[in-house]
A and B are shown apart, each in its own frame.
Chain A
C-alpha cells in the first residue's frame, strides 16, 4: 500500500516539517528517537492540533511514512518498521482540556500522561480508571491507540469501554470529531471506538473524552499463595458465584499467587476482603490482607513481573474454562523447550500477559503451537514486545480471521496513501 518512494534528505524533511508546524518543533532524528532500532529521519512535536493536522496532511501528499509517539512506553509494540520518515510526538499537546466533575467526564489531549491527568482529576475525587503498566509516562493517546489497561480492567474495563468522544487528524489533514461529551450518545458512527486499539494506523488522536469514576474511599488487597496454578480457576469462579465485586482479580505464576483488590467505603472493603480470605482458605490458599504502603508495594511488584525485565511479552486471551489447561500446557511446553516464563494478568477475564526468555527458535515454536490451540474467536496470543529476530519468524498478531479484508478496506479508506504507521497496525495493516 505504501507509496513512499521518492528520496528526500533529512534536512529537506526537517525544513518541510518546520513549514507545517514551526521551526522550533522540527528537528532531525537521533538514536534516542529510534522506533525498534529504526532511527526516524525527522522528528516533529507540534503544539497545536491544527499543526498536527498540517503535518499529517503534508505527509500524505508527500508520501512520507509517519509514526506517532506519545510517552514512548509502547513504541516497540507491533511489527518493526522498515523505515520511518517522520516521528510525530504528541507531547506538545498535553492539556487536560476539561474536567466536568458534575458530569463525571473529562476531555484530555493525546500527549497528556495518565498520571498528570489523574492528578488533575483527583481535585474532585475522581479519576480516569485505567492502570496500564508504565502509567506514569504513558500518554492518553498511546493508551487509547493500544487500548491498554491494567488490573482494574476487572471492574472498570478498557479504554474502549470508557471513551465517549474523540477528535482526530485524518491522514489527509482534516480534523474530525465523533461522539461527544455526554456518556450516553448514539448519534453517528462510533469512530472513537474504531480508533481505540488501532495502533495509530487510521488517524492521529488529538484528544479523547472519557467517562470517569469516583475515587474509592478505601482499599484492601488480599494476596493469596496457592500450592499450584490449578487452583486459580476455582477460586475466581467462587468469587463470581458469591457475587463479589473486586476492582482487580489477578493471577501470577510462578509462584502461584493471586491478588484480589476491593475498593469501596471502608466497612465494605474490609468485609469483602474478609470473605475473600475465607474463600481462599477453603480453596487451599494462604491469604494475607494488605493495606497502605504494603498494598502499593505488592501491586508495584506485580506490575514489574512482566515488563521490568527483558524478554518477549505475549498478550493471551482465553476462555475462563480453558485457563487451567492453558496454564498447564504453557508450563509443560516451556519446560520441554527450556524456556523461562512468567505469567500474570486478569484472572477474572482470563486476559493474561506472558514473558518468555530463552532461545528465539524455541519461542517461535511455542508461540506457533499456542496459536494452534485456539479455534478462531476462542482465544488469541498477540506479541506485544519482542526482538526483531523473533518477529521476523512469527507474525505479531497471529490469525485475525475472516474480518481481515474488511479491516484492510477500512484502512484503505482512512489512509489511502498508507503513511500511518505502515505495516504496524493490527493485522499488519
Chain B
C-alpha cells in the first residue's frame, strides 16, 4: 500500500490499530471458507464509530476498496479481502451499549458475539432468537450482513426479523441511522435491504436487536427412520397437521456416524434421524408433542428419545451442531453448500444426490434444516488425491443446480459472497441482477464497498463465452485467429 495512505490510516486508528506486516496479514486472508484466500493490502482494527468513518472516508477520497470483517466465520468468502484494499476488522467494537428489558431491546456493537447477547440477558429470562450453529464464535455484524438464521428460524425467522435498527457508515463516510428502537419508522425500508446485503452497502457500527421472552416450555424429540424418505414424510405430516415446531432437523447415516464418532450423542445407527423441537406455553407444548410422537410412530420412527431436561436436550443438539466439524472423522476435507429447496421436493432431490454420490465416487453427507428445506450437503474429498478437490467443487455445484431445478435457492444462510457470485445468473436473469444493482449504485456509486461479492463480474467469472464473431481486424485481413 501507498506509504502516505498508511500514515493517514495510522493517524485515524493509531499504530496499534493498523496491520500491514505481510506475515501478520495471513490471519486475515480467509474467512470460514478457507479455499478462498487473499491477503488484504492492509487491515485496520477501529474501536470507535469515528475511526470507522475516518477509514471509510479516506478510502472514499483515495478510491481504495474496503471490506468489513467480523469474526470471519462466514462460509461464502463474503469477507474475502481485496488485494489492494483495506480490511476493516470490527472485532474491537464489541461493547454491549444498552440493555433495555422493559422494551425488550438490546443495543450492541457489531463485534459482539451472537451467543453473548443471549448470555447477557439469560438471567433476566430473555434471549436473542437467531442461533446459527456458529453462534458462540460469530459476531452480530456478520449475522446482519448474511441475514443469519439457525436451527430455530422455522418458527422465529432470521436476523432481519430481529434487527430493529442500525447505525452505519455509508461508503462515502457519512453516518446513517436506519430503523430505531420503536417497531415502526417512517420512510423506505432500507434496513430490510441492508440486512443480508453481505457488507456491500455500508459498514454497520451499532445494532438494535429485539429480545424475546424465554418460552415457558421446550421439548425435544429424536427419532430414527429406515430411510430419508420416511423421515421426510414425517416432516410433511407435521406441517400438514398445522404444527410449526421451533426446529426440525434431519441427519443422514453419514453425518450420524460422524457425529457419533466425534461427540457420542448416543444417536441410533439409522438411515436418518429427525430432531423435532417444540416450544411455547407448557400446555400447548405437551398437547402438540403427543401429536408429534403419533406422527413419528405412523411413519415407523423408532429409537425415540425425548429430552426431559436441558442436559438431555443439549446432548441432542450437540450431536446436530457438531455434524460439520465431525465430518473430519470420515474424510480429510469436505466441501459444503447450503442450497434450499421447497420442502416438499426433499425426497426427489435427495434421490438425485444419492445418484450423484454413486456416480462421482465421493461420499456426500446430508444434514439439513428439514422444516425449511435448507440442505447442507457435505461433499467429502481428499486433498492428497489429485483432482478430488476440483471434483468435490463440481459435485457441490451440481447439487446447487438440483436446488434451482425445483425452484429453490443457491443459499439459505451462508450467503453468495465471492464463492457463489458466478452462480447468480443461474438463479436470476440479467434484469433481476440489474435491478439489485440499482440499490448498490445508490449506496455505493464508486463500487468500493466489498467489491466482487454477490454479483458476477467478468474479473471473477470470466467473460461469458458468446458465439464466435469475427474481429473487424480479421475481416480486414489484418489479423487471423490461429
**Chain A interface (Cβ within 8 Å of chain B)?**
100-105, 125, 147, 157, 160-161, 168, 170, 174-178, 180-191, 193-194, 196-198, 202, 213-217, 237, 240-245, 264-265, 267-268, 271-272, 315, 317-321, 349-351, 374, 376-380, 382, 397-404, 406-407, 409-414, 425-427, 429
Contacts and interface: CB of A to CB of B under 8 A. Distances in A.
Nearest to B428: A188
B103 A181 contact: no
A198 B410 CA distance: 27
Contact of B283 (A202, A271, A411): A271
B213 A407 contact: no
B288 to A, nearest CB: 7
B122 interface: no
B190 interface: yes
B182 interface: yes
Contacts of B187: 397, 400-401, 403-404, 407, 426-427
Contacts of B170: 406
Given A243-B216, A406-B443, A414 B438 contact: yes
A426 B239 CA distance: 38
A351 B213 CA distance: 19
Contacts of A265: 284, 287-288
Contacts of A406: 170, 176, 190, 442-443
Name, among A240, A376, A412, the residue most crowded by chain B CB atoms within 10 Å (CB to CB). Answer: A240
Contact of B193 (A170, A191, A378, A426): A191
A245 to B, nearest CB: 6
Interface stretch (B8-16, B111-119, B313-321, B367-375): B367-375
A237 B102 contact: yes
Interface string B437-452: 0111111000000000
B287 A410 contact: no
A190 B182 contact: no
A321 B431 contact: no
Contacts of A397: 186-187
Given A184-B373, A186-B196, A397-B186, A213 B284 contact: no
Contacts of A197: 188-189
Contacts of A268: 281, 283-284, 287
Interface stretch (B58-66, B299-307, B340-348, B386-394): B340-348
Contacts of B401: none
Chain B interface category by residue count: 35 or more
Instruction: Enumerate the 3 nearest inter-chain pairs by beta-carbon distance, A residue then B residue, closest first.
Output: A377-B180, A193-B192, A214-B242
Contacts of A319: 103, 181-182
Interface string B181-214: 1111111111011011100000000000000011
B433 A104 contact: no
A317 B182 CA distance: 6
A100 B373 CA distance: 13
A225 to B, nearest CB: 25
A376 B208 CA distance: 14
Given A193-B160, A265-B287, A317-B183, A272 B281 contact: yes
Contact of A410 (B160, B428, B431, B438): B438
Name, among B178, B183, B195, the residue most crowded by chain A CB atoms within 10 Å (CB to CB). Answer: B183
A170 B190 contact: no
A376 B182 contact: no
A350 B183 contact: yes
Contacts of A100: 342, 344
A186 B373 contact: no
B177 A376 contact: yes
Interface stretch (B38-46, B145-153, B352-360): B145-153
Contact of B416 (A187, A217, A426): A187
Given A188-B454, A243-B213, A102 B344 contact: yes
B244 A103 contact: no
18 contacts: A103-B239, A174-B431, A187-B424, A190-B160, A190-B196, A190-B197, A193-B193, A214-B243, A237-B102, A265-B284, A268-B281, A268-B284, A271-B283, A378-B181, A409-B442, A410-B438, A413-B438, A414-B438
B476 to A, nearest CB: 37
B103 A377 contact: no
A350 B182 contact: yes
Nearest to B200: A189
Contacts of B3: none
A411 B187 CA distance: 11
Contact of A194 (B188, B243, B408, B413): B188
Given A184-B372, A188-B424, A194-B193, A425 B281 contact: no
B189 A184 contact: no
A143 B232 CA distance: 35
B157 interface: yes
B426 to A, nearest CB: 10
A234 B416 CA distance: 45
Contacts of B185: 317, 377, 380, 401
A206 to B, nearest CB: 13
A379 to B, nearest CB: 5
Name, among B182, B214, B443, the residue most crowded by chain A CB atoms within 10 Å (CB to CB). Answer: B182
B429 interface: yes
B255 interface: no
B240 interface: yes
A364 B239 CA distance: 50
B415 A186 contact: yes
A186 B407 contact: no
B442 A315 contact: no
A267 B188 contact: no
A287 to B, nearest CB: 18
A407 B188 contact: yes
Contacts of A168: 435
B409 A410 contact: no
A389 B244 CA distance: 48
B373 A245 contact: no
